[in-house]
Each structure stands twice: as structure tokens, then as C-alpha cells.
Amino acid sequence: MKSECNLPDNSFEGRWIHCPRCHASLRDRVLGNHEYLCCGRCGEQVKSMRPGQTMIAAWAFAMAALVTFIPANLNPILIFSVAGNSQENLIITGVRALWMQGFQPLGALVFFSAILAPFFYLASVSYVSANWTLQLRLPFAGAALRLAEALESWNLLPVFAIACMVSVVKLRTLGTVSWEPGSLWVLATAVFTMLTIQCFDRKCAELYLEGVK
């Protein structure tokens, strides 16, 4: 098992790498654990050396989030009862309600940030992390990494989970609210997602992909 984020099988001492911010060239070097290499022009952290366990953890957390993501979307989060009428609420329920009430752009935004973006972010991180952890050369890993970078800021499932808990306070002034098993799945997915974001080392993945080209 790897103990550091190193390129596989070949030495990269003395090669040239580029700053992702200003594209300045700088000479690569082997780093010790928790050391980092900064761009001399703009100060951007170009490379860091952290224990490789973070990439393994990112893969584990992303896979766990994908597993819990399915029941989180298929099971009701809560049941709201008022005047004898009850309604089960799933994640998609809010999207459908916004759409039916004429707020199509807002409904599309909620669907993208609470369902679509989280799923593809977790899937792409899992794909890239598996590529690094298992020392594979899977196709389209670079595209998956770019997709993960693009979707990370749109992955608002943890925010959705917090919003659900806050909304219950208001709903209880109007009727009766009971939590359903789906709420636990949403909470688990949100926690695993946040852990994935914390553990995923983008620069480590970039260096690996450059090394296997």
C-alpha cells in the first residue's frame, strides 16, 4: 500500500511542471510528507505531499455516498400532515412542486444541485480515486477529474440536508411533521459527501495522470 502521493514506477525528479494558475514552469522535486511546492511567480501551491491514505479515503467515502444516494432519493424524507391530509416528501417532490407552480428555472436549479451534480461529482471522484488507488490506466480519467472539479462547487446536497432540518421548524407551526427513513439516508449521503470533498486530493490525481500518459 502506498504511503505517499508519488508518481508510479518512474522517477520525476528534475522534470518541469506548470503552475495551474499562471502557467509558469518550475522544476519538480521529490517532497517529504506534508511539504509543498509553490509557484515562484504567483505563489500558487502547485504540488503537495500528503499521506496517500487521503486518496484511498476519498474513494471509500465517494463509494459510500453513492450507495446511500440511491435510498436517499427513493425513500420519503418526511411526512407533512395538515387538516387531515398527509403528503410524503422526497427530494424530487420539491423539484416537482416548483415546476408545477411555474418556477421552472428554480426547479431545474434545485434538481441539478441536489441530485444531478452530487451524483456525477461522486461518480467522477470515485472513478479518479480508484484509478490512483489501484494504479490503473482507466480511460477518460482526465475528463472525470475535470468534471469533478467543475461540479464540486455545485454539489449542494449537504446544504439541502441542512435546509430540510431548518424547514421543519416552520412546517411544525402549520401541521404535523414526522421524519421518515429517507432523512437518515440523506444525512448519511451529506456526511459522506463532505468527507469526500475533504479527502480528495486534486493535485495528487493530476500528477498521477500526467505520469501515466
pLDDT digits (tens, 9 = 90+) for 56-98: 899 999 999 999 999 999 988 888 777 767 777 788 888 888 8
d(CA 193, CA 124): 13
Q: Give the phi and the psi of residue 68 in degrees, each rounded to 5.
A: -75, -20
- The whole-angstrom separation of Cα 76 and Cα 79 is 7
β pairing state of 176-179 and 78-82: antiparallel
pLDDT score for 122: 96
Contact in structure between 124 and 148 (CB atoms under 8 Å): yes
Q: Which of 3-7, 155-159, 195-199, 206-210 has the lowest mean pLDDT?
A: 3-7
Rounded distance between C-alpha atoms, residue 128 and residue 146, angstroms? 10
In this structure, the dihedral spanned by the alpha carbons of residues 38, 41, 43 and 45, taken in order and rounded to 10 degrees, is -40
Q: Return the bridge partners of 27, or none.
A: 16
Note the pLDDT tens digit of each residue in 144-155: 999 999 999 888
User: At 138, is the pLDDT very low, low, confident or very high (cuts 50, 70, 90)?
Assistant: confident
Higher pLDDT, 38 or 73: 73
Report which of 63, 36, 58 is spatially closest to residue 200, judged by C-alpha positions: 58
Cβ–Cβ contacts within 10 Å for residue 25, how many? 10
Instruction: State percent of the chain over pLDDT 70.
Output: 85
pTM of the model: 0.71
Name the pLDDT band for 14 (thresholds 50, 70, 90).
low
Q: Please give the pLDDT value at position 185.
A: 92
Instruction: Compute φ and ψ for 203, nearest 5 degrees.
Output: -65, -35
**SS3 assignment, position 12:** coil
The three-class DSSP label of residue 47 is strand
For residue 19, the tally of other CB atoms under 10 A from its CB is 20
**Stretch 170-179: mean pLDDT:** 75
Instruction: Name the pLDDT band for 2 (thresholds 50, 70, 90).
Output: very low
**70-79, pLDDT tens digit by residue?**
999 998 888 8
